[in-house]
Every structure is written in structure tokens, then in C-alpha cells.
Amino acid sequence: MIVELLISGVSYFIFDYIEKREFNEYKKVFDSIIERLPELKNNKNETLNLNSYELTDYGYKIKFYLPVGITTETIQSNFLKLKQAFKLNSMHFVEDERLITLYAIKEYDFKGFKPLKLEPHEIYLGEFINKKIVVDMNKFPHCLIGGDSGTGKSRLLFTILTNLISNSNRIELHLLQVRKNDLIVFQKCKQVKTCSRSLEQVLESLRLIDMELQRRESLLDIEKGYLNIADYNRLSGKTLKYIYVVIEEFSFLNISRADSKEEKLMKAECLKLIKSIVNIGRSSGVFLITSLQKPTNDSIPSDIKAQLTTRISMLIKDKPTSIVVLGDDSATNLGEREFVCRTKETIKGYSLTIDFPEITEYTKNSIVVKEQKANPPYKDKIQNTANDILNALGL
């Protein structure tokens, strides 16, 4: 017993000695780097004061105190200088008054996708240092995803859709694309009600969604306590499914000079119907998720963008483009597969590894053989509607 206590005591002192030595060695490096950054000194020549140092599997975690006059905005404005000076792939700050925790990431071990059990109104985005990044659409409805080409927007969208499909039958998906076909991998899943691949089909789907939105609005009854879909599902004895309208690359729906009159009319109606979704869809459980590759102020109408309360961005090298998505230039500082998610707070995360084999594996129980229907006369219907409007306008 005495021998065991002696061994335990000696082990503690050895560990404590090594830990203190590592801290002191790192503090020399830390102080040397910070000393070369006058921007991080206040008018009393005080600077960051290292409090702790801990090695991790991704790099290390440190804590330091900010002197009076130095803020997290000061740290953020010197983000690139700090990242380069410490030779890091990325950094993430957590603020607790004047004590800052910095996650210093040298090499991140990207995790593979595995389904996460969630409520049908919650979407799974990724993870950060073993913390799952989840957003509640009831609280922060409608989602805009931005990022440069090749940064992982599709991977993030695949994660959201695969997780929704794999753990809930209480959802419906409408996958709307123009001149893209990435989402057809999900088209045979029973949760997918429409999978549109042309402007005509997108408009037809939006019309059907609008009809359902109006029906749901008529079901919500304040006198019965049905203020929203959650109340209705809890009190009515019936269940309304949550509906996700997914539009990949919203810019394809913008009206351009090159569009024909027919295309302009169709796009105008699409935008009107989408505006209705983002304005009143929250209470009815109808949510929009859309993405943009090169967002500009003209990429998405401001009255629609203003209602997208969940903003997610992968790396965007252009500062004005980052500002369009997030409201600031923080997307320009992101590393490989890293994203910023902004709701009421700002969270960093990493996209999960997911491709067609994983999608197939985790959605296989939802695959159904859908009845082949005759192609609806989208073009004829749209053409007739367009001609009627044009004739009425005298065009």
C-alpha cells in the first residue's frame, strides 16, 4: 500500500514537472511572437498574458487574458498575422469576459459522416472538436450557404439531407435545381416529393408548395392554441410533417437580361412564391435551404435574404462576397473544410466526410420504387400562362 502511494505521488510530481516545463517553454515562444505584434499592446504597453497551455490531438489549446483596451475584435483583425506567426492551419476563439480560450489547430482529423438522431426541425451541419453543430430551424428558420467553388458546400448540403432522411419520416423534401443535378442521388427516397431539374419544373413545384403553405395557414388557430406547427402537432392529435425546400444555386432563379420574356415571367413568379415561403413558412414548418457560389448583392433579392436567419459559409477569398453572406469578412480566414455558422451566435465547424457510398448506405432504408408518371405538360402550361400574361400586357 505504501509503495503504491509512493509510486502515485512520484508520478504526480513527474507529470506536474513536465506540464510546467512544457508551459514555460511554450510561454517563451508565445511571448516572443506577441512582442512582435504592437497592435496587441494597449497604451500602457500591456499585451496578452498566457494563462494555460494544453497539447491536443489537433494542435493545442491555450488560455490568455486580454489587457484593458484590447478586445476580441482586435484579435480578429489580426487573425491572419497570428495564424501565420504560430504556423497554424486555423484558430478558434471563445470569449469569457477577458479570458480567451484559443483552439490552435495545426492538423485536423476530419470525421466521417454518421447519422445523428435529431428532431425533424433540426439540421446537422458538421462538428468541431467532438462537438456536433446543429441548428434548430424552428428558432432560426431558412438557411443560406455560401462558399467558393470546391470548398465543400455540396458536402455540407449532403450532410444535411442525408441526416434528415436517415432518421425521420416526419419530413418532406423538395429538391429544386436548374442546370445542376447533384441532388438527384436523393430522388428515390420516400421523403423526396419533388426533384425538379428545369425552370418549368421548379415553378410547378413551388406552386404546389404554396398551396400546401396556404392549407397549413388555415389550420393554425390561435383560439385553439395552434400558434405554429409545434403547437398544432402537440395539441391537435394530428401531425404535420416539416417541409424543406432546397434550392441549389439560387442565382439560377435571378432574372437576367439574357432571359426570354417567358423565362422572366417564370422567374418572377418563382421569386414571389419563395418570398412567401420565407415570410410565413416558419410557423407552418416550411423551411428554405439555398446555396450560392459567388454571392453578390444582386445574387438574391434583399427581402428574401433578410429572412434567411441561418447563415453558413465555407471559405470565400473575396471580402465583399463574404460580407454578402455573413455580414463581415470572417469567411476569408477559413481553412480547409472549415465553415462559419451564424445564427444568434457564431460557431465554427468542419464539414464531415460524405460521398455517394455514405449517402447510399444511410438512405437505403428510405429508397422506394416510385411509380413512373407521364411527364406533366410543364412547358405547355407555363407557355399558355405566359402568353395570357403577355397578351394582357399588350406585349
Within a domain: residue 290? Answer: yes
- Residue 128 pairs in a beta bridge with 131
Q: Tally the domains of the chain.
A: 2
- Distance in angstroms (rounded) separating the CA atoms of residues 243 and 134: 18
Same domain? For 203 and 300 the reply is yes
The residues near 394 (Cβ < 8 Å, ≥ 6 apart) are none
Within a domain: residue 112? Answer: no
Predicted pLDDT of residue 11: 43
Could you give the count of Cα atoms lying within 13 Å of 275 in the half-sphere of its Cβ? 11
Same domain? For 168 and 100 the reply is no
Asked if residue 277 lies in contact with residue 303, where contact means CB atoms within 8 angstroms, the answer is no
Q: Which residue has the cell 473575396?
A: 318
Within a domain: residue 211? Answer: yes
Which amino acid belongs to residue 122? E
Same domain? For 177 and 53 the reply is no
Same domain? For 127 and 92 the reply is no
Give the chain's residues under pLDDT 70: 1-19, 369-395
- Distance in angstroms (rounded) separating the CA atoms of residues 137 and 219: 20
- Distance in angstroms (rounded) separating the CA atoms of residues 117 and 373: 34
DSSP state letters, 40-58: G--TTS---EEEEEEE-SS
- Distance in angstroms (rounded) separating the CA atoms of residues 108 and 101: 18
The residues near 81 (Cβ < 8 Å, ≥ 6 apart) are 37, 39
Domain span holding position 232: 122-384
Same domain? For 66 and 169 the reply is no
Find the CATH number of the domain harbouring 281.
Answer: 3.40.50.300
Domain closes at, from 105, 134, 150: 105
Edge to edge, the sheet with strand 49-55 lists 49-55, 59-65, 99-105, 90-96
Within a domain: residue 395? Answer: no
Same domain? For 153 and 50 the reply is no
Within a domain: residue 141? Answer: yes
Find the CATH number of the domain harbouring 79.
Answer: 3.30.980
SS (H, E, C) 200-215: HHHHHHHHHHHHHHHH
Domain closes at, from 50, 71, 105: 105
Domain closes at, from 44, 79, 105: 105
Same domain? For 66 and 134 the reply is no
- Strand 143-146 and strand 310-313: the pairing is parallel
Same domain? For 79 and 194 the reply is no
Q: Given phi > 0 = left and psi -120 to 50 = alpha, else beta, which region is 62?
A: beta
Predicted pLDDT of residue 17: 47
Within a domain: residue 115? Answer: no
Same domain? For 234 and 162 the reply is yes
Same domain? For 75 and 50 the reply is yes
Within a domain: residue 46? Answer: yes
Same domain? For 94 and 128 the reply is no
Predicted pLDDT of residue 300: 87
Same domain? For 132 and 93 the reply is no
Within a domain: residue 19? Answer: yes
